[in-house]
Amino acid sequence: MASPAPALVFDTSFDPQTGEAVPIVPGLVRVTAPNRSVYTFSGTNSFVVGHDSVAVIDPGPDDARHEAALARAVQGRRIEAIILSHTHRDHSASARRLADLWSVPLWFGGQHRLSRPLRRFEGNPIKGSCDWDLVPDRVLGDTDLLEVGGVMLSVATTPGHCANHLAFGLRGTPPLLTGDHIMGWNSTLVSVPDGSMADYLASLDKVLALEFTHYVPAHGGPITDGPPYAKALRTHRQARNGQILEAVRGGARTVGAVVSAVYPDISLPLRGAAAMVVKAHVEYLEDTGTMEVRRGVLGTRLLAV
């Protein structure tokens, strides 16, 4: 008999030591940017990878203080490339300017793109947070290997949070840089059509099949028990599917009504994020044939199958 998944427990006690170079393992240093918010938690974690030479992963916001902190962490070593986990601006806003300043290439998983085409009358609620015009000098793909300053990075495509999301494993060591796909302080925002719940769940399974056991996210602290935590996240998402179905069967006919039923105590600043996540779950349930969604100019109506 399979053992039950562990309970999902978020860790919000993380001390980011903003602006300081914090060693994770040999060849990996974290520098947290000063862009704390309700969506970024304690700020975006940038990483300096390598020994004699380095790459900078997720350089973050275009902020002079953070640029100076990254320069201190580099310690005068040659920078080989800037690498992005994805192209949401809290990770990528400074990327092209710094690539030009440092005369280095910019590598990531292709230009920002939607997980599916927009429907009629549909908008992208996080359009302004995406770096649409950023073009990579090299498009990174699944199973690519990058040797940077004596550290071998393996690339894994992990769409879900957004379509071009990547994770990076340090071969021969426990850490996997999970970007925004897996974070310890909260569950990941999945907002359609920028992201996809089906892709997110598939990417969780993909990460679980990798060799890495210590997850290092782009917001918040490290997750030392990576695979059990990922399993708990998957169980959490599946339970949320069930809660949303139960709310619709109980009479909730709109996304707003589902948010009120499933998140009765949520604060007003986070209600919009909850609505985005509910829409992603609703789309997943529709695609799996367990919910009917009727869309029209006056809004969306939800019906249980």
pLDDT tens for residues 225-249?
999 999 999 999 999 999 999 999 9
Rounded CA separation 286/305 (Å):
9
Residue range 61-70: mean pLDDT, rounded? 98
Q: Examine the pLDDT at 2 and tell me if it is beyond 60.
A: no
Domains, in order of start, for the chain: 22-236 (3.60.15.10), 251-304 (no CATH)
User: What residues have CB less than 8 Å from 210, skipping those under 6 apart?
Assistant: 156, 169, 176
Q: Examine the pLDDT at 34 and tell me if it is beyond 50.
A: yes
Q: How far is CA 238 from CA 72, 195, 201, in A?
A: 43, 17, 9
* pLDDT tens digits along 134-158: 999 999 999 999 999 999 999 999 9
Confidence of residue 262 (pLDDT cuts 50, 70, 90): very high
Q: Examine the pLDDT at 122 and tell me if it is beyond 50.
A: yes
Confidence of residue 1 (pLDDT cuts 50, 70, 90): very low
CB 152 within 8 A of CB 170: yes
Structure tokens at 228: 């059990």
Closest to 116 in 3D by CA, of 295, 299, 287, 292: 287
pLDDT given at position 296: 85
Neighbour count for residue 89 (Cβ, 10 Å): 21
Residue 258, amino acid:
V
CB 72 within 8 A of CB 56: no
Q: Across all residues in the chain, what is the average pLDDT?
A: 96
* pLDDT tens digits along 279-290: 999 999 999 999
CB 5 within 8 A of CB 235: yes
* pLDDT tens digits along 42-53: 999 999 999 999
Q: Examine the pLDDT at 76 and tell me if it is beyond 50.
A: yes
Distance from the Cα of residue 242 to its chain's centroid = 23
Structure tokens at 172: 């021969």
Q: How far is CA 141 from CA 71, 108, 146, 218, in A?
A: 28, 8, 11, 20
pLDDT given at position 5: 58
Q: Which residue has the tokens 């879900």?
A: 160
pTM here?
0.96
* pLDDT tens digits along 174-202: 999 999 999 999 999 999 999 999 999 99
pLDDT given at position 3: 53
- Could you tell me whether strands 78-83 and 53-57 are parallel, antiparallel, or unpaired per DSSP bridges? parallel
Neighbour count for residue 237 (Cβ, 10 Å): 21
Percent of the chain that is helix, strand, coil (3-state, to 5): 30, 25, 45
